[in-house]
Amino acid sequence: MIRQQLDEGILTLVIDHPPVNAFTIGLLAEMKAILDSIAERADVRVVVIRAEGRGFCAGGDVKEVERLPGFEGILGQTVGSTGSIALARCAVPVICAVHGYCIGAGVLIVGMADIVVAAQGTRFILAEIDNGATAGGVQALKLMPEKRVRLAMMTAQPVFAEELFGYGSVAQVVPVEKLASAAQSIALAIAAKQPESMRRMKKSLNGITGIDALEMRYRSEISYTYELNIMGVASEGRSTFIEGDRASYMPPEA
């Protein structure tokens, strides 16, 4: 589920889907609907997305994908992941506050945020190679250089928040207990600006950074995921991934 709280023009969205915050098709659709609705909401000046639990997101819910008949699961998940573009298209700035781990679909979401803050030691992992998928590179290129994206996607090894801070794609790296307040501080600074100017500023930045072209590139990228599903290779990968239960991607529990 996604909890919502509006205060001083800041709409905070809290992802709370135990045990690991895996994104179901429904949760992805819910997030997109909320972000799309902001175009008609003058009371919202900035959005903050954060999560409860051990980590921000454990990726798409591959168990759901395997459980649904035919290609219904992978179609739902990839269409839902395309909804990550909703962060870029959202009428107001979006801040992601990330902790613990951010895997697969979580990286897609964070890559489309305007501003990212992260807790120390947060792991960003593009695990698609291990579960029969190919997408994620388009959004990851917003977080790190091309050659680093290739290494991350070809190995599924973690990229830590401190490295992304070095690239400038993560604005702040803070102790986990200060994460919410760090995001709130940036959100308050944005919310204090003239709201119509800020909405147009975001449109201007989207125009010069090619958001429309990005969506087309993402659809091209996921076509190879569809091929793997038709071939049956993807299901084999997801089954192995489920058996491993993603434990190797996550930091040990405190």
Class of domain 2-176+201-249: alpha beta
CB atoms inside a 10 Å sphere around CB 139: 27
Q: What is the pTM of this model?
A: 0.89
Q: The tokens of 153 are what?
A: 């996607």
pLDDT value of position 242: 65
Q: Give yes or no for a contact between 221 and 138, defined as CB atoms under 8 angstroms apart.
A: yes
Residue with tokens 């990229």: 159
Task: Work out the end-to-end distance of the chain between its first and last CA atoms, rounded to an integer number of angstroms.
Answer: 25
Q: If pLDDT is split at 50, 70 and 90, which confidence band does 129 have? A: confident
Residue with tokens 């870029």: 88
Residue with tokens 């949760």: 27
Distance CA 191, CA 171 (A): 17
Maximum Cα–Cα distance across the chain: 52
Q: If pLDDT is split at 50, 70 and 90, which confidence band does 202 have? A: very high
Distance CA 63, CA 45 (A): 36
pLDDT value of position 35: 95
Range name among 18-22, 25-29, 230-234 with the lowest pLDDT average: 230-234
pLDDT value of position 253: 66
The 10s digit of each residue's pLDDT in 75-91 is: 666 666 677 888 999 99
Q: The tokens of 146 are what?
A: 């091309």
Q: Residue 47 pLDDT more than 80?
A: yes
H-helix or E-strand spanning residue 223 = helix 211-231
The domain spans of the chain are: 2-176+201-249
CB atoms inside a 10 Å sphere around CB 244: 12
Distance CA 106, CA 103 (A): 5
Distance CA 241, CA 224 (A): 19
Q: Which residues contact 252 (CB under 8 A, 6 or more apart)?
A: none
Q: Give yes or no for a contact between 200 and 157, defined as CB atoms under 8 angstroms apart.
A: no
pLDDT value of position 218: 74
Give me the mean pLDDT over the 118-138 stretch: 87
pLDDT value of position 111: 94
pLDDT value of position 196: 96
Distance CA 178, CA 209 (A): 31
Please choose, from the candidates 130, 119, 120, the residue with its C-alpha nearest in 3D space to the C-alpha of residue 152.
130
Average pLDDT, the chain: 87
pLDDT value of position 68: 72
CB atoms inside a 10 Å sphere around CB 197: 8
Q: Which residues contact 72 (CB under 8 A, 6 or more apart)?
A: none
In sign, the C-alpha dihedral spanning 77, 171, 51, 185 is negative
